A and B are shown apart, each in its own frame.
Chain A
Amino acid sequence: MSKTKAQQPAVIHKVIMVGSGGVGKSALTLQFMYDEFVEDYEPTKADSYRKKVVLDGEEVQIDILDTAGQEDYAAIRDNYFRSGEGFLCVFSIREQESFQATQDFREQILRVKNDENIPFLLVGNMVDLADQRQVSVEEATRRAQEWKVNYVETSAKTRANVDKVFYDLLRLIGKYKLTPAGRKALSQNAANLPSETTGCSCVLM
């Protein structure tokens, strides 16, 4: 692994996009990253993006991991989640099922991260197709309140609130990293990673 990058900003915030298949995670990401809207649907496996953004006058790097929504990849999700620092949990307001699935994602994230205060945003996408809405704002807001997170409605197509969700999350991550829990999680994460690969086999036997 050769790191040839010249000047690396000190702070990298790792954002993970979660949510069912086809809700628009990649669309949101691409819109945020490159201001483009991709019409055709191609299931994502795991995409990685990183760019510099200026957040409240401070230059930070945002690293986005766009994950697969399909159940086929559920097994590898844990691995990804582990490295995430903030989560955008996306569902489609046109699809009740995708909204219900956020529950599972939330649970899985909490289990992996083991912290209720992990930076997390509930995102209702495809608000440009509001006439096909199946998930009401109230319903979503209620769940967000339940989880003590914010709910934002976006449209990857019209770019409505796209920047907002990412910047909001970046701020949350920035704040979280200053809290003791966040620091601990960071250090634990750093400590856990090497320990994963060693010694576990012995325990199993």
Chain B
Amino acid sequence: MAPKNPPPLVTGVSPKEGPPGTRITIRGEHFGDDPRDLIGLKICGMDCLLSAEWKSSSKIIARTGPGKGKGDIIPITRYGGKGSCTVGFRGYFLQTGPLQESAVWIDESQTVRPNLDHGRPTAAMTAKEEEDPLGILDEGDKAKLSEEELLDLFQDASGSMSLENFSPGWYLMEHHQNASFEDLKAGLNYMKRKASQRSEGPITIVRSNLTSILDCLESLSAMYEKYTEDDIRGNCMNSYAVLLMQAKSCADGLFQEVLGRKDKADSTRNALSVLQKFRFLFHLPLNIQRNIQKGDYNMVINDYEKAKNLFADTEIKVFKKVFREVEWRIANFRDMLYKRLKDPQNTLDEQKKLIRYLVSLEYKGDPAWECLDNQQKWLIELLDDCKDDHIEEEKNSIQESLAQSQSSNQWKPIGRVNKSPTKSGLSRESSFSSLSSADHQASWKFKTPQKVLFIEDITDIMLQHFPDYWRLGQSYFTREKTEKGVKIDTSKHGKMKQMMAEVITLFANYVRAAFLPESLENLPDVEREKLGVWPTSAKQEHVSGSWLPTCVRNIRNCANTLSALDSHGDSSMIVLNELAFDMRTNCMFTLLKQAISDVKCLHTKETWVVETDDESGGTTQLPALFENIVNETVQHLHEVVVMNRAPEPEIFSQRPIQKEATVLCSQLLQAFSVCMEQLVFTPPLQKTEAKPNVKITLGQLDVELDQHEDSIPSLDKRLIIMLSNCSHTQFVVVPRIIENLTKHGYVEMEKALKAAQHTYSDLDSRLFTSYIEQKSDPILGVMEHNMYKGSFSWKTWKNTTEVRNYLKEIIMSLIEVHAEVYSISPKFVMRVMKKITEAVSEELSRLIECVQDFNAGGAIQARLELEALQNTVRIYSTPHVQACFKAAFDCIPELSDEGKEVVSKLLDKFRSRMKIQLMCFQQEMFTSTVKKANLTDSLC
């Protein structure tokens, strides 16, 4: 390494002195061009390169090492080599003595004494200053008075300030003999200033010169010992000893305060070190609080455990005190946790955590159990509240609506417009019978029924909180099992179950009280009171069937979810399942009943518009409506009632329910017959009109009803329409419905089918009979009268020229009936015509039989007419008809050949004349086939 550059030179140092570690700024030149150029730095012989910070070629900042005394600052650079300096640094050890105030704690583990050996510049300075208290320097030492002269002047005095007999005069004479008065005055001022600057007075002197004073004292006592050993002048020594003692006691007094302070400092230091050592404990109360605020409960518990292990059995008062505080805080904390635990809004996890905390905090008692208990109470309360709220609401709204319907005893159109959101029309129909209640119900449907809201809320509560509660309970036992050393309280197991069951039963009972009050009848009244009595306002049910499925769905969901919790199939869940089952059956029955009543009310729907198709013949839309109602109901029921989920029992598994369901089904099927019958025999118009007319003032419905009136056909027409409907229902609709029902799982439908078939056959026959009566009566009634019209007599009749009019009339009537039936349902033509033909032929043969005597002409006439009729209705002839005709023919005397000829001639004439009319009978089959062909053609 060949230095090419000039060596570094230090020309400035700031500061120029200080204790080790002083940060100094070194200035000079040629410190290098780069921090890396500086390869060495020595301050007072100590290498300080590590702390050196190269700033520029003229500036380095470094920290001094432990060098002591005045020394050089020598930087070494890569290219300049070892440097030199014009200024030096003086290192000294800063000592904070026992008498100096210090802002920081000084390690005084070393005793104070050795420190006193180090001289301090301040001490020397103060001592020197005292040399000249007036601040007036002597102007040379000429003309100084000698000690003897002064002694003469001031007897028993001394010029030394440190002596008791100090005399200012002596001092001034000794030191400032030549000073002017002004100088002395200035000196006095200076002294005053000095004194005020250091108000501490003599103690300061002693303090700042403690070392020397102690040295003196020591040497004095050493001297004293020496003297006493030698005991040269014993009596002298006495006063010396006394003085020494005095000095010592004086010093003691002087330093009592200081020593006291030192003791205090020591004890404080001890206390501090104890604090430091056991900082953990002392900080604990604060830490606990802080951690609690932060929510770091684990930390709190860990700390507490630690503290408990360390200090629980401590005998030291301070620790005891602090530990007491810790315990107090922990107790508070525990209480807080406990309170939080009682807050039932916590989530499951939170609760588990809290319980764990409480357990680890050694909470007395069983927090988990208490929590469970508490939770249960809360749940029950929640259910209670829910129930009470809803009952209250219900009552209110009932009162409201009652008031409403009472105040306005009028029909409200708006009430009619409101419809159930799920089923339009149907439920409205069901309530149609009673208008006031329809109004009421409409207002019910306008908003969701209270009970439905109730069921939604209460199931919500259950679903939200019960699973957590259950899991908490489960984890309570599993935890106890897994945690070693914790007793497993088997009695609690049972109790737990009981509590769960209690909640569930309560829930179930609440629901029952709302929906199935009958099922609670075996409970005592008081208990039922508790479960809530739902006000029963009107005669009809509050919750229409349309809402029930929703409720059932809710309950089933609830039951399913809760049952899923318990895989072992606990008994408590059975209650729920029973409830769900009951709800389902109730729903089913209600819906079925409602369907029945709906069907019964169907007659109001009849429009009497006949639609004809070839399969079923002419029907109105009524059977279709009927089918719709049934199918819709079945659909509703299917979703909620019949469809089973895994753990639920089959709804038809129970015999009574099955039976009842079947009965209801067949009732439902048969209900329609009632409706039809009603339609025929008591036209709905009169019924509906009778009531509304009283109340209805508005025109709208009147118009509607008028239209009804217009369209309502006559009884015979109604009869034949219903007949057609009936047969359609019997043979098409009912089997279809039955099929549907069976498909949906309804059992024993054959019975229902049979019963229904029976009913409809009944109805059919009744309708048929009355229709026949309706039709044949007018024909038969006028037959005899017409036969003997124009004072006709079989005995006297001569001139048989043609078939008489009465027979033609009969034939015309028959054609009329035929047309009517045909227009409704061609299927019935044969059946009806046969019956009527029978009746006609019967009547005719009766009439003929009643004739006592025929002359030849009469016989010809009778035979002609009988044969004409017989020919005409041949296709409708039955054995009975033939028998009747035979009897009639038997009564007529045998004709002559001539007569037979006349008859056949006239018959031909009759046929050709009545050809068109007769075609109705003769070509019946043909025309119908033609019609059919045409129809299919047009369809295609």
A47 to B28, CA, bound (A): 13
Within 68-100 of A, Cβ neighbours of B (below 8 Å) are at 75-76, 78-79
Across-interface contacts of B14 in A (CB, < 8 A)? 26, 44-45, 47-48, 66
Q: Are A33 and B11 interface neighbours, CB within 8 A?
A: yes
Bound complex: CA A66 to CA B72 (Å)? 18
- Interface segment, one of A1-9, A138-146, A153-161: A1-9
Residues of B within 8 A of A5 (CB): 84-86
- Judge whether A34 and B128 touch: CB under 8 Å: no
B124–A204 CB distance below 8 A: no
The listed residue (A48, A61, A196) touching B12 by CB distance below 8 A is: A48
**In the complex the two chains form, what is the Cα distance from A34 to B27 in whole Å?**
8
A157 to B733, CA, bound (A): 117
A205 to B676, CA, bound (A): 145
Docked pose: A200 CA to B119 CA in angstroms: 14
> Is B87 within 8 A of A204, CB to CB?
no
A203 within 8 A of B: yes
Chain A 122-136, CB within 8 Å of chain B: the 1/0 string?
A: 000000000000000
Contact of A205 among B11, B15, B18, B162 (CB under 8 A): B162
Contact (Cβ within 8 A) B70 A1: yes
Chain A residue contacts of B401, Cβ below 8 A: none
**B15/A49 in contact, CB under 8 A:** no
Q: How far is the CA of A165 from the CA of B15 in the complex (A)?
A: 23
Known: A1-B70, A204-B212, A205-B162. A51 touches B15 (CB 8 A): no
Which residues of B810-868 are within 8 A (CB) of A? none
Q: Which residues of A contact B215 (CB under 8 A)?
A: 201
Smallest Cβ distance from B56 to chain A, in angstroms?
9
State which of B130-138, B291-299, B723-731 sits at the interface with chain A.
B130-138
Q: Which residue of chain A has the shortest Cβ distance to B58 in the bound complex? A: A34
Q: Is A114 an interface residue (CB 8 A)?
A: yes
Residues of A within 8 A of B122 (CB): 75-76
A115 to chain B, nearest CB (A): 10
B657 lies within 8 A of chain A by Cβ: no
Number of contact residues on A: which range applies?
Answer: 20 to 34
B879 at the interface (CB under 8 A from A): no
Q: Is the CB of B84 within 8 A of A46?
A: no
- Whether B130 lies near A204 (C-beta < 8 A) is yes
Question: A49 near B17 (CB under 8 angstroms)?
Answer: no
Bound Cα distance from A76 to B135, whole angstroms: 17
The complex places the Cα of A63 from the Cα of B11 at a distance, in Å, of 9
- With A6-B84, A76-B121 as known contacts, state yes or no: A48 contacts B13, CB within 8 Å: yes
Beta-carbon contact of A49 and B11 below 8 Å: yes
Q: Which residue of B87, B130, B135, B216 contacts A48 across the interface (Cβ within 8 Å)?
A: B87
CA distance A49 to B15 in the complex (A): 10
Give Cα A5–Cα B7 distance, bound, in whole angstroms. Answer: 12
Residue from B69, B87, B121 in contact with A49 in the complex, judged by beta carbons closer than 8 Å: B87
Task: Specify which chain B residues have a CB less than 8 angstroms from the CB of A65 in the assembled complex.
Answer: 16
Inter-subunit contact A33/B12 (CB<8 Å): yes
Given contacts A33-B27, A34-B58, contact A4 B124 (CB under 8 A): no
Contact B86 A50 (CB under 8 A): yes
Cβ B127 vs Cβ A204 within 8 A: yes
The answer to whether A49 and B212 touch across the interface, beta carbons within 8 angstroms, is: no
Q: Is the CB of B125 within 8 A of A78?
A: yes
Enumerate chain B residues within 8 angstroms of A187, measured Cβ to Cβ: none
Q: Is the CB of A203 within 8 A of B131?
A: yes
Q: Given A46-B16, A50-B11, check contact A201 B127 (CB 8 Å).
A: yes
Given A5-B86, A196-B128: A51 touches B121 (CB 8 Å cut-off): no
Contacting residue for A61 out of B69, B86, B209, CB 8 A = B86
Contact mask for chain A residues 189-205; partner B; CB cutoff 8 A; 1 contact, 0 none: 00000001100110111
B58 touches A44 (CB 8 A): no
B13 contacts across to A, CB distance below 8 A: 47-49
A111 in the interface, Cβ–Cβ < 8 Å?
yes
CB distance from A182 to the nearest CB of B (A): 17
Considering the complex, give the chain B residue whose CB is closest to the CB of A26: B14
Query: A34–B28 Cα gap in the complex (Å)?
Result: 8
When distances are taken between beta carbons in the complex, the residues of chain A under 8 Å from B84 are 4-6
CB closest residue in chain B, given A8: B86
Q: With the chains together, A174 CA to B407 CA distance in Å?
A: 127
Contacts of A49 in B (CB 8 A): 11-13, 27, 87
Chain B contacts for A50, CB-based, 8 A: 11-12, 86-87
Q: B127 touching A44 by the CB < 8 A rule? A: no
Tell me the bound Cα distance from A103 to B830 in angstroms: 152
Cross-chain contact A111 with B125 (CB below 8 angstroms):
no
Interface string of A25-49 (1 = CB under 8 A from B): 0100010011000000000111111
A46:B209 contact, CB within 8 angstroms: no
Instruction: From A1, A33, A47, A204, name the one whose CB has the most chain B CB atoms within 10 angstroms.
Output: A204
Cβ-closest chain B residue relative to A47: B14
Contacts of B212 in A (CB 8 A): 201, 204-205
Residue of B85, B86, B131, B135 ringed by the most chain A CB atoms within 10 A: B86
In the complex, chain B residues 79-130 whose Cβ is within 8 Å of any chain A Cβ: 84-88, 121-122, 124-125, 127-130
Chain B residues lying within 8 Å of A201, measured Cβ to Cβ, are 127, 209, 212, 215-216
Q: State whether B11 touches A45 (Cβ < 8 A).
A: no
**B122 (CB) vs chain A CBs: closest residue:** A75
**A48-B13, A51-B86, A204-B130 known; A79 vs B135 contact (CB < 8 Å):** no
| Shortest Cβ gap from B205 to chain A (Å) | 8
A197 touches B124 (CB 8 A): yes
* A1 to B68 alpha-carbon distance, docked (Å): 11
* Cβ of B304 to closest chain A Cβ, rounded Å: 50
B contact residues around A47 at 8 Å (CB): 12-16
Checking A63, A75, A205 against B216 with a beta-carbon cut-off of 8 angstroms, the contacting residue is A205
A48 to B88 alpha-carbon distance, docked (Å): 8
Interchain CB contact under 8 A, B70 and A48:
no
Nearest to B197 among chain A residues (CB) is A74
Q: What mask results when residues 1 to 24 of chain A are scored 1 for a CB within 8 Å of chain B, else 0?
A: 110111000000000000000000
- 1-55 of chain B: CB within 8 A of chain A: 11-18, 27
Q: How far is the CB of A185 from chain B (nearest CB, A)?
A: 12
Shortest Cβ distance from residue A8 to the other chain B in the assembled complex, whole angstroms? 9
Complex Cα–Cα for A203 and B16 (A): 32
- List of A residues within 8 angstroms of B12 by Cβ: 30, 33-34, 47-50
Minimum distance in angstroms from B769 CB to a CB of chain A = 128
Partner of B137, one of A6, A76, A79, A114: A114
- Neighbouring A residues of B129 by C-beta, 8 Å: 78
Q: How many whole Å from A139's CB to the nearest CB in chain B?
A: 25
B11, A204: Cβ atoms closer than 8 Å: no
Q: How far is the CA of A201 from the CA of B12 in the complex (A)?
A: 35
Q: Which residues of B contact A76 (CB under 8 A)?
A: 121-122, 125
Considering the chains assembled together, what is the distance between the CA atoms of A1 and B125 in angstroms? 23
Residue numbers in B under 8 Å from A63 (CB-CB): 86-87
Contact assessment for A204 and B209 in the assembled complex, using a CB-CB cutoff below 8 Å: yes
Q: Are A79 and B18 in contact (CB under 8 A)?
A: no
Cα(A30)–Cα(B69), bound, Å: 26
In the bound assembly, the distance between CA atoms of A5 and B12 in angstroms comes to 15
Residue of B nearest to A76 (CB): B121
CA distance A203 to B171 in the complex (A): 13
Please name all residues of chain B whose beta carbon is closer than 8 Å to the beta carbon of A48 when the two chains form the complex: 12-14, 16, 87-88
- Per the bound structure, the CA–CA distance linking A7 and B70 in Å amounts to 20
Q: Mark B545-563, 1 if CB is under 8 A from A, else 0.
A: 0000000000000000000
Known: A48-B87, A50-B11. A196 touches B124 (CB 8 A): yes
27 contacts between A and B (CB under 8 A): A5-B85, A5-B86, A33-B11, A34-B12, A34-B27, A45-B14, A45-B18, A46-B15, A46-B17, A47-B13, A48-B13, A48-B87, A48-B88, A49-B13, A50-B11, A50-B12, A50-B86, A50-B87, A65-B16, A75-B125, A78-B129, A111-B135, A111-B137, A201-B209, A203-B131, A204-B130, A204-B162
Q: A4-B72, A45-B17, A196-B128 are in contact. List 15 more A-B contacts (CB 8 A).
A: A1-B70, A1-B71, A2-B72, A5-B86, A34-B12, A46-B17, A47-B12, A48-B14, A49-B27, A50-B12, A61-B86, A75-B125, A76-B122, A76-B125, A203-B131
9 A-B pairs closest in CB distance: A47-B14, A48-B16, A50-B86, A45-B15, A49-B12, A48-B87, A201-B212, A51-B11, A50-B87
